[in-house]
Chains A and B, each alone.
Chain A
Amino acid sequence: MKSNWLNTNTFHHSEFKEIELLVKKKEKKNLTISLCLPTLNEEKTIAKEIIIMKSELMTRFPLIDEIVVVDSGSSDNTLDIAQSYGAEIYEASNILPHLKESTGKGENLWKALYITKGDIIIYLDADIKNIHHRFAYALLGPLLLNDKIKYTKAFYDRPISTDQQKIRATGGGRVTELIIRPLFSLFFPELTQIIQPLSGEYAGFRDLFEKIPFPIGYGVETSMILDIYEKWGIDVMAQVDLDRRVHRNQDTKALGRMSFVILKTFLNRIEGLEKIKLNTDLFNEMIQYKQTSGEYQADIYKIKGHERPPMITVPEYCEKFNRHL
């Protein structure tokens, strides 16, 4: 691996704290910016994300033009709360409703392309407990200040919060270190320079997002990096250190299911790129076991590897945004 990308395209959020400068750049380039929060039962954290982003990056500095929540069918008060604090709210199933219904984070991100207006779209996970407006402005910094960069991704320390509210100083990123980094090392060593390829916070130009497919579930972050890398190369990407992100911790079984989806997405991608040849179809079931009354029982999760095509191939989108293939 010869790339110097890690040194040239890695930034710290403090480099972009002059928000006024970012606003000037945005206005000079005549750009609009949308913030999208994909949600599923995030009533404990959604309000804080909306309030802080709205206060700091809309009211005080006109950096963001809209905040949009795209929901996968929350059963709690996520949407009600989001609306009460002024976000535009959408249920994913009501966007392009004639398409076959799918549910997942990737589906929300893909459909957000249709309902947002911005030339730049910021995607932030909605479960960030220590949200700060740097999560948005720092991802925008390289996009606004460097003409070559079209996609930015966050990385950070990942302390885990426990039930007792005590913070454990290190941890998290297990799927990255056990699954993604070994795979990148095997097939795309250059991409190992991305510190946290699975981080749920990224931003990019619409021109770029609309040309790549979106897996509907957890595989979306992995596929996004692979597709951008293959189409435009690593130099259009940058990563930004956001210092610290406190989030809900997931148990090992949930991480296992996440890993299943990511592995499947990855294998399909590299087969498509003719880097390997699979001589069998991949199964759609993740099988885990639990012990009940001394007996082991299988927990079977059907996980389809469905993905949405590039949005620019959807006629309604092309019409709305005056795009042509």
Chain B
Amino acid sequence: MNTRMDAILKKLPSFVDQIKSIKEVIISNIVLIGQTPAPTFHEEARTEIFLERLSDAQADYCSTDDYNNPIGIILGKSGGAKPPIFVVAHMDTFFNADLGHNYVIRKNSITGPGILDNSLGIGVLASMPIILRKLKLAFESDIVLAGVTQSIGTGNLQGIRRLLNTWDDPIRGAVIIEGADLGRLSYYSEGIIRGEITCNVSVPEDGEHRYKHNAILILNEVIDEILAMELPQRPRARVIIGKFNGGFKHGVIALNARLGFEIQSNSDNMVKRMYHEMMDIVEGIGHEHRVDLKLNIISNLYPATLKYKHPLVKSTVAIMKRLGLKPASHSSESELSVFLTQNIPAVTLGITDGKNVHVEQATMKIDPMFTGIAQIIGTIMAIDSGVCDEK
């Protein structure tokens, strides 16, 4: 570690209490933004309030790009001589707008839909200008605070893809922030193909047969064949069966069914090979039963990674350890992969601990959040000190 990094590590522990001293401001941002529903493709209302809060926090520049990604910029001291550092959180959630999004705050917790994925991340992002002023920090690089839309599910990371595709200038490095879990350190993404297999059994014009095909049973055959696929130990590869629905009611044969899956591997060739194998399975079973059986791709990502020895990863590990955190590395198929595939050094960090991440009663702990924010600030400082500039 160089001396600049040593200086950052020395300062870090004192940040936690200073950040905690403005906890009302940070929690208000988390709650006021998080209580505004933002299902994927319908993030407008949350975008508006996010920009309002960012503007109130006196970011130097607040606007949306042409894809409606809300962006704030804190201008750096170098006047543009150093490329910008991106801090990114996704705006959208899994929950519909008609669901009550009113959060419950207790002494050390906040509970409500989407709090950990990703109201907490967005609230912290909107608080960043205030937090940096509180810590009396200024950077050489501009800090680009980007809330990105259309991230999850069928959104297929369109917000970040579009933002980076239209950002012509170099980017120094990026920190992607997610609500959970504190200690998470993601610096690699697996290749994925996320898709759906749908089965529709047509009703003959001369009326229903008593023993017609059952769409659920046909998809069951598909699952059996997927499970029988031979997968290698290296490169790592797997198929996740994540969603299933179908049918109408208990006593009626199901005429349609839908299966959601994801192929994951650290080898792009392996992802493609498995995809073609699954296509063969679907076409074969569809042909055999004469039913409408289709495989549709929802999204895909190329595998990308930083090495563990990359200075950004090593610095982040040092920052986390200095704050008493035990880094746990996970693959992240999120905004991280888009940065990494464009050769921009980036890591994903979690802010706090919690439970029930993807259900309505998701709960985050408040106290660990201040350490989580301190690690984000430390990582931005590390990038600004030049750890990503080394080739």
Contact = CB atoms under 8 A, between A and B. Distances in A.
A94 interface: no
A47 B28 contact: no
A43 B104 CA distance: 9
A161 B100 contact: yes
Most buried by A among B27, B99, B105: B105
B250 interface: no
B158 interface: no
A185 to B, nearest CB: 35
A48 interface: yes
A55 interface: yes
A80 interface: yes
A167 interface: yes
A86 to B, nearest CB: 8
Contact of A43 (B98, B102, B106, B113): B106
B102 A246 contact: yes
A167 B32 contact: no
A47 B22 contact: no
A292 interface: no
Contacts of A165: 99-100, 113, 360
B100 A59 contact: no
A161 B107 CA distance: 23
A267 interface: no
B35 A130 contact: yes
B30 to A, nearest CB: 10
B107 A81 contact: yes
B25 interface: yes
Nearest to B25: A55
B24 A85 contact: yes
Contacts of B221: none
B105 A48 contact: yes
A44 interface: yes
A124 to B, nearest CB: 16
A56 B130 CA distance: 13
Nearest to B99: A165
Nearest to A169: B98
Contacts of A161: 100, 102
Nearest to B28: A55
B103 interface: yes
Contacts of B106: 43-44, 47, 77, 81
Given A54-B24, A81-B107, A60 B56 contact: yes
Interface string B20-49: 001011011001100100000000000000
A34 interface: no
A196 interface: no
Given A51-B24, A59-B22, A60-B25, A167 B98 contact: yes
Contacts of B113: 165
A134 B28 CA distance: 13
A45 B32 CA distance: 14
**Range of interface residues on B (Cβ < 8 Å):** 20 to 34
Contacts of A81: 106-107
B27 A51 contact: yes
A52 B28 contact: yes
A43 B109 CA distance: 12
A48 B103 contact: yes
A11 B62 CA distance: 30
Contact of A166 (B24, B31, B32, B98): B98
Contacts of B99: 165-167
B246 to A, nearest CB: 24
Contacts of A52: 24, 28, 31-32
B32 A132 contact: yes
A54 B28 CA distance: 9
A293 interface: no
Contact of A51 (B100, B102, B105): B105
Contacts of B105: 47-48, 51
Interface in B104-146: 104-107, 113
Contacts of A130: 35, 102
Interface in A72-89: 77, 80-81, 84-86
Question: Which one of B22, B28, B32 has the highest number of Cβ atoms from chain A below 10 Å of its Cβ?
Answer: B28
Nearest to B102: A129
Contact of A84 (B31, B98, B107): B107
Interface string A83-104: 0111000000000000000000
Nearest to B96: A166
Please name the 6 residue pairs, one residue from A and one from B, whose CB atoms are nearest each other, closest first.
A55-B28, A47-B105, A55-B24, A129-B102, A165-B100, A48-B105
Interface of A: 43-45, 47-48, 51-52, 54-56, 59-60, 77, 80-81, 84-86, 129-130, 132, 161, 165-167, 246
Given A47-B105, A48-B103, 18 more contacts: A47-B106, A47-B107, A48-B104, A48-B105, A51-B27, A55-B24, A55-B25, A59-B22, A59-B24, A60-B25, A60-B56, A77-B107, A132-B32, A165-B99, A166-B98, A167-B100, A246-B100, A246-B102
Interface of B: 22, 24-25, 27-28, 31-32, 35, 56, 98-100, 102-107, 113, 360
